Amino acid sequence: MNARGALGRYGEGLAARRLTESGLRIVERNWRCRHGEIDILAAEGDALVVCEVKTRRAGAYEHPMEAVGPRKAQRLRSLAEHWLAGHGGPPPGGVRIDLVGVLLPRRGAPVVQHVRGVA
């Protein structure tokens, strides 16, 4: 695994921990199909939560919370539809797309932000 992949996996681990601490249950991580990948699928009550995780080092690129624009949001919706097609359709509580941003400062603890319903 390269450094970028290791950074992403580290951020996804922090994100999964934040989500479970917030009461969500992790259903699947790194689900892939020929159309792309969903970082984390979780359940909150009877809703399915599709989580995009963005990890950045402080000062390197845009802030992780700015990383999901309209094009990425549409792709996540499409990937969610593909996942649902293979897993029995939408749950009673519907589907929500969340973003978890992980910012790694030069010093100190990582900053993890969870924003619900970004798309």
Highest mean pLDDT: which of 65-74, 90-99, 101-110? 90-99
Mean pLDDT rounded to a whole number for the chain: 90
Comparing 36-40, 44-48, 80-84, 100-104, the range with the smallest average pLDDT is 100-104
Domains: count for the chain:
1
List Cα–Cα distances, 61 to 7, 8, 66, 111, in angstroms.
Answer: 14, 14, 10, 15
pTM for the structure as a whole: 0.90
pLDDT at 63 over 80: no
Provide the residue range defining the domain that includes 58.
3-115
CATH assignment of the domain containing 48: 3.40.1350.10
